[in-house]
Amino acid sequence: MKFRTDINGLRAVAVIAVVLFHFHAAWMPGGFAGVDVFFVISGFLMTGIIFRGFENNNFSLAQFYLARTNRIIPALAALCFVMMLFGWFYLMPLDYKALGKHALSSVAFISNFIYLNESGYFAADSHEKWLLHTWSLSVEWQFYLLYPLVLMALHRLFSLEKLKVVLIFSALLSFVVGIWTSINAPEAAYFLLFPRAWEMMVGGIAYVYPLKLGQGKKRYLEALGLLMIVGSYAFISAEDAWPGYLALFPVLGTYLVIQAQNDSSFITGNAVFQKLGAWSYSIYLWHWPIVVAIFYFAWPSYYAYPGMLLSVLLGYLSYKYIERFKFRRDYSRLIEIVKIKPLYLALAMIIVGRVVYKTDGFDTQIRAGATSEKAQFLNHYANEHRQLDEAYWLKCDTYDALDNRGTYETDPSCVTKQGDGGVFLWGDSHAEALSLGLRQLLQPQDIPFYQKTSAGCSPSLTAMEGSASIAKQACDYSNKLAIASIGEVNPTLVVMTQAKNHDTQDWISISNKIQQISDATVVVVGPVPQWEPSLPKVMTKPRHWKKDERMIVDEGLDLKVIATEQAMMKKQPTEEYHYLSLVQDLCTVAEGVYACRVRGYDDTLLQVDYGHLSQQGSIYVVNEVLGQPILDLYQAAVH
C-alpha cells in the first residue's frame, strides 16, 4: 500500500485537536474526538494489512504483531522510563507509587482497565495521572491482538466478500453497544474496547469498500469530512455522552476523508501537517505529561503556550531517534517472540513499575523525591487524607461500606434516634468534612447528631444518573435511607451540602419532601473554596512556600466554585431552606480578585487536597462560619 499523504495529514488534524483540548479545553471543547480520528485511521491501516495478506495468501500473524510491537513499544517505553526517572526526583511517594502502577499498566497495554477501576474517595484527579492518555494505546493494542485472530477464524468460514459484510454488521453491533454503554456505563464506554471497536471497523469498511471518484468529487467529499471532524471539535464537549451517537460525526468525517483519497489536498497535504502527522504518535505521547506538570506544580496558565511547543519538539526528537530506529523485522514465527527486542524494553518497565508500586513509591531516604521538604509537606497532607475516618465519620458512608466491605450497611448509630430534635447531616464527602466540627459544636449542647452520607453523592430525591456502578448503587441507597431516617428521627435541623454545582440542585423539592415527613428546618451549606490541583500543592509555590499567610491570592483558586457561589447568592431567598455561604466568609474580593483563607487557628492548612477540609479545617469552618447561624436556627426552630 502506497504512502497516503491525506491519512498522514489526518493524523495532524487529530493530534492538534487533542493537544489544544488538553492544554486548554475552552480552545477546542471537543478536541478529545481527535482520538476517535486516530482509531478510524488505525482500523483502515490494520484492515488493509490483514485483507491484503488474505488476498495474497501470505498473511503472517507473527509479522503483524512484530510490526505493531516495533511501532508502538519503543517510544512508549522511553516515555515511561523518563517519567519514572523524573518521578524519582520530584514526586512524593504516593504519587510515585501511582506512577509505577500506571507505567506498568501502560507498557502491558491494560491501562484502560486500570483507569476505569480507579474511582472512589481517594482517587487521584485525572490531571495528576501522568500516563492517563495511554488508555487509548491500550485500546488500540487490544484491537491489534484480537482483530486479526477474529478475522482469521471467520475467514475459515466465509469468503472474503462475505467477510466484508460481516465487518459491516460487527461495526453496527459495536455501535449500538457503544450508544447503550455511553448512557448506562459512561466510564466503561469511554475506556473499553468493544464500545469503541466500531470506530476502528468503520476504518476497515473504508478499506474493503473503497469509492472511485473523480478529482472534483474528491475535493467535495474531503471538505465535507473535514467539516464534520472540525465541527465535532467545536460543538461537542466533555459533557456529552461519549462515544455515543455523536461520535458518528468525527468517525464518519474521517471515513469520508479517507474515501476521498485526495493526495493533492492543500489542507492535509501541506508541509506543516505532513510533519506533524509524521510526529503525531510521539507528540501524543509527550504532550500529556507536560499538561500534568503544569497542573501538578500549579504553574501559571500561560505555561500552556511553551508547553505545546515543547510537546512538538519532544515529539520530533522521539520520532527521529526512537520511532525511526530500525529494529529487526524478519521474524516469521510466533515462537521467535523471545528475539524481539522492544518486548524487553516493555518487560524492563513492567519490572520497574512493579518494584516502585510494591515499595510504596520508594518511600525511603535514598530517593530525592521522598525526602525533600516539599515532598514531606505534601506527604503529610496525603497521609492525613487517608486518616480521616473518624473525623469524617466514614462509618456512615455507604460508598465506603459497599466498596470496602461489600455491604450497604453502615453503623446503625448514624441514623438511630437518640432523643428529641437534633441535627441531621446529609450529602457527599464535603458534607462529611463538616462532621467533626459539627459534632464538637453540638456535643456540649447535648444536641443529637445524625449523619447519612456517601462519597460522590449529592442529596437527591431521584436516582443517580449512569450505570449500576458501585458509586451509583451506594448513592441511590444512601439517599433513600437519608429520607427514611429523617422521617424516623424527626430532627430539628437538616444540614445538606455537596462539593459543587449547588446552583443546579433542586433544593426546593428536596426541602419540601423533608418538611412533609418531619418538622425539620432545612439548611443548605454552600461550597468551600477549592483549589487546583490541591491546596497543599498551591502552597508549595515559591511565592507561598514557608510564608505565614492566612489568606492568599492565587490562580489555583477554582473559579467554577466561585461562580456557583455567585449564582446561589443571586437567587431569591426561599421559605423552604436557609442558605449559609462559606465563600462569603472565607474569601474577600477586591476589583474582581479573590483572596481566600488557607489556614485557620494555626499553621495547619484548612484542606488536605483540592477541597476536603482537614480536621482543624472542619473545626475552624464550623466554629468561625457555620456555628452561630446553625445554633441560632436550631434555637428558633425549637421555640
| Residues near 639 by beta carbon (within 8 Å), at least 6 away in sequence | none
The helix/strand/coil state of 138 is: helix
Q: How do residues 471-500 score in pLDDT, each as one tens digit?
A: 889 999 999 999 999 999 999 999 999 999
What is the distance of C-alpha 10 from the center of its chain?
26
236/129 same-domain check = yes
What pLDDT band is residue 121 in, cutting at 50, 70 and 90? Answer: very low
86/215 same-domain check = yes
- Determine the longest span between alpha carbons in the chain, in angstroms: 90
Q: Confirm whether 304 is domain-assigned.
A: yes
What pLDDT band is residue 122 in, cutting at 50, 70 and 90? Answer: very low
* Residue 25, C-alpha cell as written in the block: 479545553
Please, is 46 exposed, middle or buried when counting C-beta atoms within 10 Å of its C-beta (0-12, 13-18, 19+)? buried
Q: Confirm whether 205 is domain-assigned.
A: yes
Q: Confirm whether 374 is domain-assigned.
A: no
Residue 625 to residue 606: CA distance in whole angstroms: 13
Asked if 378 and 92 touch (Cβ cutoff 8 Å), the reply is yes
352/393 same-domain check = no
Residue 58 to residue 481: CA distance in whole angstroms: 64
Q: How do residues 553-589 score in pLDDT, each as one tens digit?
A: 988 899 999 999 999 998 877 889 999 999 999 999 9
pLDDT value at 124 more than 50: no
411/480 same-domain check = yes
Predicted structure pTM score: 0.79
**Domain boundary at 342, 361, 380, which?**
361
What angle do helix axes 341-358 and 93-107 make, rounded to 10 degrees? Answer: 150
26/168 same-domain check = yes
**Mean pLDDT value across residues 133-142:** 97
Question: Cα-Cα-Cα-Cα dihedral of 242, 245, 248, 249, to 10°?
Answer: -80
What pLDDT band is residue 120 in, cutting at 50, 70 and 90? Answer: very low
Rank 132-141, 330-339, 380-389, 527-536 by mean pLDDT and report only the highest.
132-141
Q: What is the DSSP string of 153-180?
A: HHHTTS-HHHHHHHHHHHHHHHHHHHHH
Least confident of 63-67, 101-105, 118-122, 534-538: 118-122
Residue 605: DSSP 8-state? B
Q: What is the DSSP string of 466-505?
A: SSS-HHHHHHHHHHHHHHHHHHHH--SEEEEE-SS-GGGS
Residue 431 to residue 429: CA distance in whole angstroms: 5
Asked if 105 and 269 touch (Cβ cutoff 8 Å), the reply is no
Residue type, 182: S
Q: What is the DSSP string of 340-405?
A: -HHHHHHHHHHHHHHHHHHTTTT-STT-HHHHSHHHHHHHHHHHHHTT-HHHHTGGGBHHHHHHHH
| Residues near 85 by beta carbon (within 8 Å), at least 6 away in sequence | none
The pairing of strands 521-525 and 449-453 is unpaired
The pairing of strands 493-497 and 423-427 is parallel
Asked if 240 and 246 touch (Cβ cutoff 8 Å), the reply is yes
Question: Cα-Cα-Cα-Cα dihedral of 112, 117, 122, 126, to 10°?
Answer: 20
Rank 122-136, 137-151, 338-352 by mean pLDDT and report only the highest.
137-151
Nearest alpha-carbon partner for 554 in 540, 567, 566: 540
Question: Cα-Cα-Cα-Cα dihedral of 335, 337, 339, 341, to 10°?
Answer: 180
What angle do helix axes 5-23 and 215-235 make, rounded to 10 degrees? Answer: 10
Higher-scoring residue by pLDDT: 121, 24: 24
Q: How do residues 387-406 score in pLDDT, each as one tens digit?
A: 999 999 999 999 999 988 99
Q: Confirm whether 373 is domain-assigned.
A: no
Residue 533 to residue 295: CA distance in whole angstroms: 6
CATH code, 467? 3.40.50.2300
**Mean pLDDT value across residues 537-546:** 88
Q: How do residues 160-187 score in pLDDT, each as one tens digit?
A: 999 999 999 999 999 999 999 988 888 8
For residue 424, what are the β-bridge partners? 450, 494
Asked if 257 and 281 touch (Cβ cutoff 8 Å), the reply is no
State residue 339 phi and psi, 5-degree precision. Answer: -95, -5
pLDDT value at 119 more than 70: no
| Residues near 91 by beta carbon (within 8 Å), at least 6 away in sequence | 99, 361, 369, 375
451/510 same-domain check = yes
Residue 586 to residue 594: CA distance in whole angstroms: 10
User: How high does pLDDT run on average in the chain?
Assistant: 92
Strand residue runs (E) in 85-170: none
Asked if 271 and 14 touch (Cβ cutoff 8 Å), the reply is no
Q: How do residues 250-262 score in pLDDT, each as one tens digit?
A: 999 999 999 999 9
Residues written for the chain = 639
pLDDT value at 33 more than 50: yes
What is the distance of C-alpha 359 from the center of its chain?
26
**Mean pLDDT value across residues 92-121:** 87
pLDDT value at 30 more than 70: yes
Total domains, the chain: 2
> Angle 30-138-43 (CA atoms, 0-180°, nearest 5)?
70
398/310 same-domain check = no
What pLDDT band is residue 429 in, cutting at 50, 70 and 90? Answer: very high
Asked if 475 and 401 touch (Cβ cutoff 8 Å), the reply is no
349/468 same-domain check = no
pLDDT value at 597 more than 50: yes
**Mean pLDDT value across residues 102-110:** 97
Residue type, 559: L
Residue 47 to residue 34: CA distance in whole angstroms: 20
* Residue 276, C-alpha cell as written in the block: 506533524
Please, is 63 exposed, middle or buried when counting C-beta atoms within 10 Å of its C-beta (0-12, 13-18, 19+)? middle
Q: Confirm whether 299 is domain-assigned.
A: yes
Higher-scoring residue by pLDDT: 136, 95: 136
Q: Confirm whether 537 is domain-assigned.
A: no
Least confident of 133-137, 211-215, 384-388, 500-504: 211-215
Domain enclosing residue 460, as ranges: 388-529+569-586+614-638
The pairing of strands 521-525 and 551-552 is unpaired
| Alpha helix ranges (H) inside 158-303 | 160-184, 186-191, 194-208, 215-235, 248-260, 266-269, 271-296
282/417 same-domain check = no
What pLDDT band is residue 131 in, cutting at 50, 70 and 90? Answer: very high
pLDDT on residue 123: 43
Residue 530 to residue 383: CA distance in whole angstroms: 19
308/402 same-domain check = no
Which secondary-structure segment (H or E) carries 524?
strand 521-525
Sheet holding 587-590, edge to edge: 551-552, 593-597, 587-590
pLDDT value at 238 more than 90: no
Residue type, 303: Y
Radius of gyration of the chain measured on its C-alpha atoms: 28
Q: Confirm whether 483 is domain-assigned.
A: yes
* Residue 335, C-alpha cell as written in the block: 515462537
First-to-last C-alpha distance (Å) of the chain? 85
Q: Confirm whether 286 is domain-assigned.
A: yes
| Alpha helix ranges (H) inside 57-92 | 61-90
Place of cell 521467535: 336
pLDDT on residue 336: 67
Residue type, 429: S
151/193 same-domain check = yes
pLDDT on residue 319: 97
318/412 same-domain check = no
What pLDDT band is residue 94 in, cutting at 50, 70 and 90? Answer: confident
Residue type, 44: F
* Residue 539, C-alpha cell as written in the block: 502552597
**Mean pLDDT value across residues 216-234:** 93
